[in-house]
Amino acid sequence: MAKEKIHFECSNCNHVSPKWLGVCPKCGEWNTFTEKREKKKSSKKHKVEISESDNSEVVRLSDVGTEHQERLSSNLDEFDRVLGGGFVDGSFTLLGGDPGIGKSTLMLQTAKNSPNLKILYIAGEESGAQIKQRAARIGLTGENLYISSNTDVQSVIHSARKLKPDLLVIDSIQTLFSDELTSLPGSIRQIRECSALLQQIAKKENITTLMIGHVTKEGDIAGPRILEHMVDTVLHFEGDKNHFYRLLRCIKNRFGPAQEVGVFEMNEGGLQEVTNPSELFLSDSDLEVSGNAIACVMEGTRPILVEVQALVSSSNYGTPQRTASGFDQRRLSLLIAVLEKRAGLHFGDQDVYLNVAGGLKITDPAADLAVISALSSSLKDQVVDKNTVYIGEVGLGGEIRNVSNVAQRIREAGKMGIQRALLPKSGTAVQNNIEINTAATISEFV
């Protein structure tokens, strides 16, 4: 009789080794190898019956109906904005975010604002009593919200078939498991298998499904990247725990625009929508100090006014410090080099600190001109007019380049009472009762 084969498998990345190892050579995690015994392969193929008939109809594209499908509204304008107008019937959505950022609260808020939606909430991390306690804080009675603490994916599929909910919420995908696999819940094989089964349920039985996923230290969705390819929409719920605001950002959307952003504010009553984010990120202080400048950045299709703060001071050490919060530090070093080379300003013996007020993280290159203005203002200790907005990208040659959506940015500035705007000279003319100034290079600007 042949001996039973034994190998060791990493529970984090499924790396296989013939012997036990203390640290996985593939993912670097410690004490993750578990003993596995090879079982005889069963001739019966693992198959989950999704529909009563396995016959799928093949049709021509020209014969496919094009009737308009109504979306399921969450009755949260910011949430619907990010989704492209609401949930598409039968869509498969992935929501990621840091622990405690408000992902589960957002789902309960959706249930509160949409009492007509039948929602099945699969809670793998909390009991029903804990969810009811959180729901009571935001005033949710939950007449049409059904809770299940089962984490077996087969039982979840059975419950979804039986209840036929309008929205199926999985909190979270890392807690589901299939008993057909020997690996632990949260492993790559379990996540891939459970997601594939839920995708079939969403598509073949037209059950709108939303999965909540954990994130790694780098902010990526925990698990394989295939998760983001399997779903229709990928949402990231982000924010700073030191601030009350939350950003819901769309990374991928098959049914609407990507990179759309919704803004919420967390308070004791739950998540409240912020209809005018510019008020949130602009300082209300009338104190006139150097180093402050206003930029207008685009988050998806929404213009937001933000305040950029810079502090330039003499260095007490041999190597000056360069610190940025809410802005790319490498981009900051590039702009400092351009100022030194093209505008004749000297930062070699100066510490530079840059901060975006409100904790917002900006990547829009249109904020370059505001950063240049804040750095120059702090270095020269000259106050910048707080009623001026700076819009433009800065190139390595010191040229100020044009950016997109200038007219939309200017309109947003006008709504917030901004009186002047400084734009690239190559930009298009904008008429919005705002004084327009232009500059071609940063030497001319400074």
Number of neighbouring beta carbons within 10 Å of residue 378 = 24
At the fourth CATH level, which superfamily is domain 72-275? Answer: P-loop containing nucleotide triphosphate hydrolases (3.40.50.300)
Q: What is the DSSP string of 331-399?
A: HHHHHHHHHHHHS----TTEEEEEEEGGG-----GGGHHHHHHHHHHHHHT-PPPTTEEE--EE-TTSB
Using DSSP, state whether 72 is helix, strand or coil.
strand
Number of neighbouring beta carbons within 10 Å of residue 166 = 17
Q: Measured between alpha carbons, how far is 245 from 170 in angstroms, rounded to an integer?
A: 24
54: pLDDT confidence band, cut at 50, 70 and 90? low
Residue 214: the pLDDT is 83
102 marked ligand binding residue: yes
Percent of the chain topping pLDDT 90: 48
Q: In the chain, what are the domain boundaries?
A: 6-37, 72-275, 280-445
Q: Measured between alpha carbons, how far is 319 from 334 in angstroms, rounded to an integer?
A: 17
CATH node for 280-445: 3.30.230.10
Q: Give yes or no for residue 220 having a pLDDT over 80.
A: no
Residue pair 294/388 in contact by the 8 Å Cβ criterion? yes
Between 41 and 160, name the one with better pLDDT.
Answer: 160
Residue 284: the pLDDT is 63
239 marked ligand binding residue: no
45: pLDDT confidence band, cut at 50, 70 and 90? very low
Whole-model pTM: value is 0.77
State both tokens at 95. Answer: 């929501």
3: pLDDT confidence band, cut at 50, 70 and 90? low
Per residue in 102-150, pLDDT (tens digit) is 899 999 999 999 999 999 999 988 888 899 998 998 989 888 999 998 8
418 marked ligand binding residue: no
Residue 433: the pLDDT is 79
- Of 95, 435, 416, 125, whose CA–CA distance to 237 is shortest? 95
Q: Measured between alpha carbons, how far is 211 from 92 in angstroms, rounded to an integer?
A: 8
Q: Give yes or no for residue 228 having a pLDDT over 90.
A: no
One-letter amino acid at 304 equals I
Average pLDDT rounded to a whole number, residues 367-395: 94
104 marked ligand binding residue: yes
431: pLDDT confidence band, cut at 50, 70 and 90? low
Burial 124-158 (b: 16+ CB within 10 A, else e): bebeeeebeeebeeeebebeebebbeebebbebbe
Q: Give yes or no for residue 2 having a pLDDT over 80.
A: no
Residue 245: the pLDDT is 83
Per residue in 236-293, pLDDT (tens digit) is 988 776 677 888 999 999 998 888 889 998 888 888 898 888 887 886 666 788 999 9
Q: Give yes or no for residue 386 having a pLDDT over 80.
A: yes
List the Cα angle 441/444/446 in 5-degree steps: 105
99 marked ligand binding residue: yes
Residue 99: the pLDDT is 84
Q: Give yes or no for residue 46 having a pLDDT over 50.
A: no
Per residue in 313-367, pLDDT (tens digit) is 998 878 899 999 999 999 999 999 999 999 999 999 999 999 998 778 899 999 9
